[in-house]
Every structure is written in structure tokens, then in C-alpha cells.
Amino acid sequence: MSAIFVLIGASLIVALGFLFAFLWAARKGQFDDTDTPSMRILHEDRKMAENGSDKDE
Amino acid sequence: MDRIKYDNRIVRDFAMATSIWGVVGMLVGLLAALQLVDPMFNLNAPHSTFSHIRPLHTNAVIFAFVGNAIFMGVYYSLQRLCKARIFSNLLSRLHFWGWQLIIVSAVATLPLGLTTSKEYAELEWPIDIMIAIVWIIFGLNMFATIMKRREKHMYVAIWFYIGTWVTVTLLHIVNSVELPIAFMKSYPVYAGVQDALVQWWYGHNAVAFFLTTPFLGLMYYFLPKAANRPVFSYRLSIIHFWSLIFLYIWAGPHHLLYTSLPDWAQSLGVVFSIMLLAPSWGGMLNGLLTLRGAWDRVRDDHVLKFMVVAVTAYGMATFEGPMLSIKSVNAIAHYTDWIIAHVHVGALGWNGFLTFGILYWIIPRIYNTKIWSSRLAGYHFWIGFLGILVYTLPMYFSGITQSLMWKEFTPEGYLLYPNFLETTLQIIPMHIIRAVGGGMYLTGAIMMLYNLLKTMKQGSLIADEEVSVSPMMPEESSKDKSHPGWGHRWLEGRPAQFTALTLIAVTIGGVIEFVPTFLIKSNIPTIESVKPYSALELAGRDVYIEEGCNNCHTQMIRPFRSETERYGEYSKAGEFVYDHPHLWGSKRTGPDLHRIGGKYPDAWHYAHFLDPNSMSPGSIMPSYHWLARKKFDIELVPKMIGAMRTLGVPYPDGYEERSIRHYRKQANAFILELKNSNIDADAESKMIALIAYMQRLGKDIKGQATDLSETTEEEQ
């Protein structure tokens, strides 16, 4: 069952990596604003063209 | 304002790849499904036989269909979320063609039987290396794009993409540690229980981090875009990500409940699997509630229809998953069609329908047109949706029916259905309906491909989409005293924390470093009578892997009376210490084989492999007649034995040198035995090796292992 050490080790590396990523993100203020990001993605950089045709419309 | 160009060509390329490979993967699935109705659909060739194409189907669907869909969605959304063009055109090209090359290699090798036998990691070592390289190219391209983003905040989808990349990298590396023996042949360094544990740690996380987290990222981007309203709760999406990522990686052992895996590891898997219900449903509800107040649009908008079914399927599959991880439920469901139904709710519903929704949304956009026919897309939705129901419902019935038949006893205490075949014949009608459901789903995918091609024809690709975006504000100085940055300066002021972190880092390094020692040590047999396989039996084991027998037969008898009555003593961890790889299997389309040795005479096996129907009338096992004709490459045997010794299998000294001699000697004994039944067999044929392996299975704990010592050889 020593393979469990590989898996626990590997899993811990991932978990710790993500823990630090989380701490980094929290300190950088990534999670300070939980409202506008969800609105912001809706903004299109480009206007959708109206040409082309849906033959069923 | 910066003028930049988004790369849409790479998005289009991956979109086409996912559509085409999707159809191919489903077609192979249909061919496999038909063979579970009647084996004649194997077209009488090894390359199209179920046991060869089942891994092709799973790999095509997971890595070709879903894989390309991930890349399509990531390349589209990442550029827009980062307000930056993808980092490098060259890396994008390399990524695209590299990935297609991997898929083509899979198509070229798996049907030939070039496989490691490990589920969802069947590809052999050269392809494993290729996967690692292409995956790193993808990572470079992605991280470099994130680095040059013009939007300080990283939208939650990006977190899901990063989580996916990091974890898949690690999973792939740990699970692919194997010892190459020849081009396209290798043995894993892990054996038996350990190999099974590593395999399902990987296998489960492949589901988690290849089929789930990237698709959740896509959901969080494309569902709000398609509905044109923000996600229900952005805060919940962040909690969803972090809780999921910390829980998922421990759930793997739920694939090994009631096996020889130590109980504590099983329990660990169960606990984490049940906890997973919370973040999964949080995410599912977050997706569905995004549509609050817009449900009327689902009636007309084919994109939203697909996405709603996808998210609902995610919810159902992630409810079912934790339930299946409860031991008493698992006791019924494991090894049956129930699991096939479960994964297809995920694959057809969640992955398939989200991919279709995204394709219908993206293609008209990057071609600057509208969908060619929204009515055809609507038909696709209905035929696909009904296809999922027609596929999964009979499989639930089939799984539960067969499981209950396996477990049924007469009042006198005998098995009511002692003949396994009876339970197979009972579910054939369900398999027919399942194939119809799969056919419906495939038809829908072909309709989509046609619709998309027509859409592309009426529009024109905006290969480089020019947009103006505002540059990022310079970051505030992190040297502000009240808000210390997350840098070395912060650590330097805190010796205790610094020491602790160093300790953790070193411990992890140490664990990784000492593991090989542990592995060798653990190969000391725990059951005295368990011995290494003889040269002939090891060759037979390779034939077993090559022919993909493990796709339909398990080698793991669970400690239930219904199983010990049917198959013999339950399987013990110590019996598998020389099994590189383990061959426990995960599905019983046919009976378990762990104690098959000595149950039938050699001639029975010979006739059965030539024509299973001659020995078990009505059997859906196909004929493996080519085994009698094809020869095993005996020259490879010393190398195989040497590799096993390197991995810690204690062969007697010098066995490599006399392995070929011993191979022939043991094979000739089988030939003589078969002669008594008037069968003229070829001693070098794969058939003899496979029969030798069959006859060895389960013998060790009875103290009947093959003697490999030199003295017995001289006596005769």
C-alpha cells in the first residue's frame, strides 16, 4: 500500500498549490468584487452582425 | 485604447475537430453496443471486436470529442476574458495538430491491441510522452495569455481552466510511470492493489478534471453569454471552484469498494465522494438559476435548450455519483450496466449537450452570420434528448436486473441462476433498446455537423476579430505597509511560517524520493504460496491485455456469499503482488475469472476461444479464432522477465536465460494434453499462452503455482 504515499504526496502538492493560489488570489483582491465580474463578461467587444440568414426565420 | 485581434481560426479548428471526432467516437460506441446484442457485429476481425474498440470508444469520446471541445471553448473565452489575443499562433498550431496526432495514434494502436489495459490511460508510452508535450504546449499558451491580460480580475472560468491544467498534468505523470520493454509495450511500476489504487485515483480524476472542471469553466462563461444575463451568484461560483478542487482529488477509491483495497482507503473515498454532493449541486443550481426570469427564452432558443439539459444532467450525475459511492448501493451497482448508464448521463448529457450548445453559439458568431437552420437544431435537440433517455433508462433496468439475478438464492441456499449466461441473456432486450438510443444520439450529432457546415458556408470566417480594449491600469504598489504583499519579504518577517513551509516542501520532496524504495519493499509476498508467473503464463497475460479481456471480465471476487458461491474464495491483496498491471476490471459483461484456473479442461478453453457458442450456447462472447493462428513473439520473453525482475518480482536466478526453454517446455505439455482431445495446436500460438494463463488464475493460494526452479526442469 505504499503507493498511497505517492498519491497522498501528489494530492498534497496539488492541494497546497491550490491553497497558495487561493491565498494569492485573495490577497490580490481577486475576490473583493463579487458583482461586476459577472456583468462584465456580457459586454461584447464587437457588435454582432445582422447579415446571414436563418432559413427558418 | 488598444487595437487587438482575437484569433478565431484556432477556435474554428477545434470546433470542427470536436464535431467530427464526436461523430467518429459515437459511431465506434454504436458498433460496440451492437456487439453486446450479437457478437457477429465484430465483423469477424480482431480490430473491430468489442474488447479492442471499447477503449477506442472511451478514448475517442473523452480525449477527442470532449478534449477538442474544451480547447475550443478555452481558446474562445480566454481571449475575451483576458482581453488579449492568445499568446502564440505557433503554440496554438502545435497544440492543435499535436492533439490530432495523438488521436490518430490512438486510432492506429488501440484496435491492434497495443494497450496498457489501464482504463482511460490505455495509450502506450510513446503516446503518453506525446500527450505530456502537447499538454505543456497548451499550458504555456494559456498561462502566457493570462499573464498578458488586460483585465486584472480573473473571471471564475479561468480558475477552472487553471485547475484543470495543473491537475491533469500531475495525474497523467503519476499514472504513466511505466517501464518500456519495446516500442508500444510497457509494464507499470506499480503492482496489484497499488496499481489499482493509482489507476482509479487517476481514473476518477480524469472524470473530475477532464470531463468536469473544464466544462464548468465553459458553463460559467457560455451559459451567461447565451442567456445574456450574469451568473446567478458570482460568489457561489468562487466557492464552487475552491471546494470542488479540494474535495475531488480524494474520491478515487470509490471505484474499488469491496475489493482488496484496505478498508480505510475505501472509507476515505466514500467520505469525500459524499461530501462532493454539496459543491456539485451548488454549481448546478448556480447554472440553472442563472436563467431565473428568462425561462421563456428556453422555449425558442436552441442554444439554451442544450445548455439547460446539460446542467441538469450534471446535477443528476453528481447526485448519482455520491449515492453510488455508498457501499450498500455500490454492492448492487458495481460491475453492472448501471455504471454505464451513470457515465452516459454525464457524457451524453453534460459533456455532449454543453458542447452542442457552445458549438451552435460560437460558429455563427465567428462566421458573422446566423445559424443555417434553427429548426434543424431543434430537431437535433429532441432526437438527442430522447436518445439519452432511450439509452440510459434500459441500462438502469439492465444493471439492476442482472445484479439481482447474480445475488438471488433458492430457499435451499443455492444460487438461483448458477449459470452466468442466463443473466446475460435476460438483459439482451435492454441492450437492443440502448443501441437504438445511441443511434438516435449519433443521428443528432450528424444533423448538427451538417447544420454547422451549412452555417459556415453561408458566412465567412472572421479569422482575426479586431476589437478595441482598454489597457490595464498599473497595479497599486504592494509595498504598502498596511497591506504586505505575498512575497518573500512577507515570509522573511515570519521565521515560524517560513520554517513550516520549508518543512512541508522538503517532506513532499522526501516522500516522492523514498517512494521507489517503498514500492520494491512492498513486493515481498504476503502470501507464501503466491509465486511469479512462468514465462508462458506471463506471455498469456500479455495476450489477455492485448485482446482486452479485462473490458468484459473482472479478476476481483468481492466478499459476498453470492460471489464466493459462484466464483470461489474472495480475492485477497496478497494474490496480486506480481501483477504489473493489475487486471481487476470494472465491468462483468462476462463472469469473473480470478479463480477460473483448473475449472475447465484445456480442450474446453481451446474450443471456447474458437467458438464460445460451442461451449456456452447463446454466449455473446465473440470468437477469438485468430489466437490459434497468431504466434507470440517468444524472443521478447527474456526481456519481459528481466523487466519484471527490475520491478521487484523475485524470479529465480538466471530464469531469463532459460525462460524461452521453459516457455517451450510448458507449452509442449499443453500441446500433449490437447492431443488427447484430438486438437492439433501450435505451441507458439497466442492461444496456448492464454490458456496457460487462464489455467494459472487462482491456483496460487491453493499452493498449485507453477514451479520455476531448475531442478524440476532437469528431472524431466
DSSP string for residues in B115-128: ----TT--S-HHHH
Is pLDDT of B473 > 80?
no
For B88-102, B382-396, B472-486, which range has the lowest pLDDT when averaged over its residues? B472-486
- Residue B523: its pLDDT value, please? 45
Whole-number Å distance between alpha carbons of B626 and B608: 13
- Residue B114: its pLDDT value, please? 95
CB B636 within 8 A of CB B689: no
B188 contacts chain A (CB < 8 A): no
- Residue A7: its pLDDT value, please? 81
- Residue A32: its pLDDT value, please? 83
Which chain B residue lies closest to A53 (C-alpha atoms)? B370
pLDDT single digits (tens) B349-363: 999 999 999 999 999
Instruction: Inspect the interface and report whether the beta carbons of A6 and B170 lie closer than 8 Å.
Output: no
CB B670 within 8 A of CB B540: no
Output the CA angle B652-B658-B659, nearest 5 degrees.
80
Whole-number Å distance between alpha carbons of B286 and B227: 13
Torsion of CA B222, B226, B228, B231, to 10 degrees: -40
The topology (CATH level 3) of B535-715 is Cytochrome Bc1 Complex; Chain D, domain 2 (1.10.760)
pLDDT single digits (tens) B25-63: 999 999 999 999 999 999 999 999 999 999 999 999 999
Residues 247-266 of B with CB under 8 A from A: 249-250, 252, 262, 265
Torsion of CA B302, B21, B92, B203, to 10 degrees: 100
Whole-number Å distance between alpha carbons of B439 and B433: 10
| First CA to last CA distance, chain A | 63
Percentage, residues of chain B above pLDDT 70:
92
Residue B520: CA atoms inside 13 Å, Cβ hemisphere, count? 8
- Can you give the pTM of this predicted structure? 0.90
Residue A30 in 3-state DSSP? coil
**Residue B323 has which C-alpha cell?**
449515492
**Residue B577 has which C-alpha cell?**
503482488
pLDDT single digits (tens) B108-124: 999 999 999 999 999 99
Whole-number Å distance between alpha carbons of B98 and B91: 10
- Residue A25: its pLDDT value, please? 85
The residue with greater pLDDT, B247 or B693, is B693
The residue with greater pLDDT, B578 or B479, is B578
Percentage, residues of chain B above pLDDT 90:
78
Q: Which chain A residues have a beta carbon less than 8 Å from that of B365?
A: 48
Instruction: Inspect the interface and report whether the beta carbons of A38 and B374 lie closer than 8 Å.
Output: no
Is pLDDT of B516 > 60?
no
- Residue A57: its pLDDT value, please? 63
What H or E segment, with its residue span, contains residue A35?
Answer: none
CB B251 within 8 A of CB B207: no
- Residue B645: its pLDDT value, please? 95
Is pLDDT of B671 > 60?
yes
Mean predicted confidence (pLDDT) in B188-199: 89
Please, which residues have CB within 8 angstroms of residue B177's CB and are 6 or more apart in sequence? B188, B189, B190
Whole-number Å distance between alpha carbons of B618 and B604: 16
Q: What phi and psi, each to the nearest 5 degrees, are found at residue B179?
A: -100, 110
In chain B, where the domains are located: 2-195+298-469, 535-715
pLDDT single digits (tens) B56-84: 999 999 999 999 999 999 999 999 999 99
Whole-number Å distance between alpha carbons of B514 and A47: 58
- Nearest Cα of chain B lies from the Cα of A43 at a distance, in angstroms, of 9
User: DSSP label at B212?
Assistant: I
A–B interface: beta-carbon pairs under 8 A: 145
Residues 498-517 of B with CB under 8 A from A: 504, 508, 511-512, 514-515
Q: Which chain B residues have a beta carbon less than 8 Å from that of A1?
A: 193-194, 197, 262, 265, 522
Whole-number Å distance between alpha carbons of B444 and B386: 10
- Nearest Cα of chain A lies from the Cα of B373 at a distance, in angstroms, of 5
Whole-number Å distance between alpha carbons of B574 and B369: 64
**Of B114, B21, B109, whose CA–CA distance to B68 is shortest?**
B21
CB B143 within 8 A of CB B193: no
Do B2-195+298-469 and B535-715 have matching folds?
A: no
Amino acid letter for position B253: P
Whole-number Å distance between alpha carbons of B215 and B269: 23
Amino acid letter for position B52: H
What count of other Cβ atoms lies within 10 Å of the Cβ of residue B243?
A: 17
**Residue B113 has which C-alpha cell?**
491491441
Which chain A residue lies closest to B509 (C-alpha atoms)? A9
- Residue B512: its pLDDT value, please? 46
Residue B674 in 3-state DSSP? helix
Is pLDDT of B716 > 90?
no
Is pLDDT of B213 > 80?
yes
**Residue B464 has which C-alpha cell?**
482575426
- Residue B480: its pLDDT value, please? 46
**Of B490, B477, B556, whose CA–CA distance to B260 is shortest?**
B556
Please, which residues have CB within 8 angstroms of residue B59's CB and are 6 or more apart in sequence? B106, B110, B120, B122, B123
Confidence of residue B268 (pLDDT cuts 50, 70, 90): confident
With b for 16 or more beta-carbon neighbours within 10 A and e for fewer, the B53-67 pattern comes to bbbbbbbbbbbbbbb
CB A5 within 8 A of CB B518: yes
Interhelix angle B637-646/B535-546, rounded to 10 degrees, is 90
Output the CA angle B31-B444-B364, nearest 5 degrees.
135
Q: DSSP letters of B356-397?
A: HHHHHHHHHHHTTS--S-HHHHHHHHHHHHHHHHHHHHHHHH
Q: What phi and psi, each to the nearest 5 degrees, are found at residue B670?
A: -65, -40
Is pLDDT of B481 > 80?
no
Cis peptide before B532 (omega within 30 of 0): no
- Residue B95: its pLDDT value, please? 98
Residue B344 in 3-state DSSP? helix
Whole-number Å distance between alpha carbons of B603 and B679: 8
Q: Which chain A residues have a beta carbon less than 8 Å from that of B370?
A: 52-54, 57
- Residue B510: its pLDDT value, please? 46
Q: Which of B166, B198, B372 sits opposite A55 (nearest CB)?
A: B372
Helical spans, DSSP H, in B191-276: 192-206, 213-227, 234-248, 263-275
Residues 466-485 of B with CB under 8 A from A: 466-469, 485
Which chain A residue lies closest to B226 (C-alpha atoms)? A42
Instruction: Inspect the interface and report whether the beta carbons of A10 and B170 lie closer than 8 Å.
Output: yes
Is pLDDT of B553 > 60?
yes
- Residue B277: its pLDDT value, please? 95
| First CA to last CA distance, chain B | 89
What is the C-alpha R_g of chain B?
27
**Residue B383 has which C-alpha cell?**
432526437
What H or E segment, with its residue span, contains residue B480?
Answer: none
B618 forms beta bridges with: none
- Nearest Cα of chain A lies from the Cα of B372 at a distance, in angstroms, of 5
Which chain B residue lies closest to A56 (C-alpha atoms)? B373
- Nearest Cα of chain B lies from the Cα of A26 at a distance, in angstroms, of 10
Is pLDDT of B372 > 80?
yes
User: What distances in angstroms separate CA B658 from CA B397, B616, B641, B684, one per listed residue?
Assistant: 53, 38, 11, 16
Whole-number Å distance between alpha carbons of B545 and B213: 31
**Of B341, B350, B276, whose CA–CA distance to B313 is shortest?**
B350
pLDDT single digits (tens) A1-57: 667 777 888 888 888 888 888 888 888 888 888 888 888 888 877 766 555 667 766
CB B179 within 8 A of CB B125: no
A47 contacts chain B (CB < 8 A): no
User: DSSP label at B573?
Assistant: G
The topology (CATH level 3) of B2-195+298-469 is Cytochrome C Oxidase; Chain A (1.20.210)
B186 forms beta bridges with: B180
- Residue-averaged pLDDT of chain B: 91
B113 torsion bin: left (phi>0), alpha (psi -120 to 50), beta (else): left
- Residue B504: its pLDDT value, please? 56
HEC readout, B289-337: HCCCCCHHHHHHCHHHHHHHHHHHHHHHHHHHHHHHCCHHHHHHHCECH
Whole-number Å distance between alpha carbons of B65 and B28: 12
pLDDT single digits (tens) B312-353: 999 999 999 999 999 999 999 999 999 999 999 999 999 999
Instruction: Inspect the interface and report whether the beta carbons of A5 and B230 lie closer than 8 Å.
Output: no
